[in-house]
């Protein structure tokens, strides 16, 4: 019986602590320390779609975060993607600085159709820089999609708690069961603790 009371007290303490930590109007930066998105479960009260948030961020980086009410985060993600675009543009322009042009400014090609490079070492440096920027941008794009889904999950968990959808339901009731003994079936009484999260 002591164990049951200790477990019950721990569950009530956890529920009380969680409800004391959350308040209306909280932002993701505050919520990410409270909620673990791996513990998310879909509910009918969820205001944000994980799928649509991820898809929105796949089309326009940061849009999924913006849709989830995190304007600052969405703008920051978009600015990061824009910075990758600027870096790629710089690499391309620098690469083409080393491509030979004729008097009219047209790009020169050799007999095989390859670009004629004036400084192969410098052009290679900027070409590799462009590949690095493109790889970094691809990783950033995938992270952005995952982040939008994570933001949607955490915000949904927060909204569920505000609406009471994630409350802990605790029931403690007497129970009777039958156990096989040497004298046959004997009724055994006890208490059943039921917890639903």
Question: For residue 17, what pLDDT band results from cuts at 50, 70 and 90?
Answer: very low
- Is the predicted pLDDT of residue 144 greater than 70, yes or no? yes
The better pLDDT of the pair 25, 77 is held by 77
0.75 exceeded by the pTM?
no
Q: To 10 degrees, what angle do helices 50-59 and 120-163 make? A: 160
CA–CA separation, 20 vs 50, rounded Å? 27
The better pLDDT of the pair 14, 44 is held by 44
Ranges assigned E (strand) in the chain: 169-181, 184-196
- Is the predicted pLDDT of residue 14 greater than 80, yes or no? no
pLDDT for 169: 53
CB distance 91 to 126 below 8 Å: yes
C-alpha distances out from residue 158 to 22, 58, 74, Å: 8, 24, 19
Lowest-pLDDT range of 11-20, 125-134, 140-149, 181-190: 11-20
Mean pLDDT of 58-76: 95
**pLDDT per residue over 71-120, tens digit each?**
999 999 999 999 999 999 999 999 988 888 888 888 888 888 888 888 98
How many CB atoms neighbour CB 160 within 10 A? Answer: 21
**Per-chain mean pLDDT for the chain:** 84
Identify which of 18-27, 104-113, 133-142, 163-172 has the greatest average pLDDT.
133-142
């Amino acid at each position: 019986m002591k164990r049951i009371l200790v477990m019950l007290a721990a569950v009530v303490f956890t529920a009380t602590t969680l409800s004391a930590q959350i308040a209306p109007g909280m932002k993701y930066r505050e919520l990410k320390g409270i909620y673990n998105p791996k513990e998310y479960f879909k509910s009918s009260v969820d205001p944000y779609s994980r799928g649509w948030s991820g898809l929105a961020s796949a089309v326009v980086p940061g849009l999924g975060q913006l849709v989830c009410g995190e304007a600052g985060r969405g703008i920051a993600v978009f600015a990061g993607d824009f910075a990758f675009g600027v870096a790629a543009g710089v690499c391309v322009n620098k690469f083409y600085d080393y491509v030979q042009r004729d008097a009219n400014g047209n790009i020169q090609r050799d007999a095989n159709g390859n670009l004629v490079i004036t400084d192969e070492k410098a052009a290679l440096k900027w070409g590799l820089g462009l590949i690095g920027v493109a790889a970094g941008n691809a990783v950033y794009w995938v992270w952005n999609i995952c982040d939008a889904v994570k933001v949607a999950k955490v915000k949904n968990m927060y909204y569920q708690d505000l609406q009471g959808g994630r409350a802990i339901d605790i029931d403690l009731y007497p129970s009777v069961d039958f156990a096989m003994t040497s004298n046959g079936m004997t009724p055994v009484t006890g208490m059943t603790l039921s917890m639903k999260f």
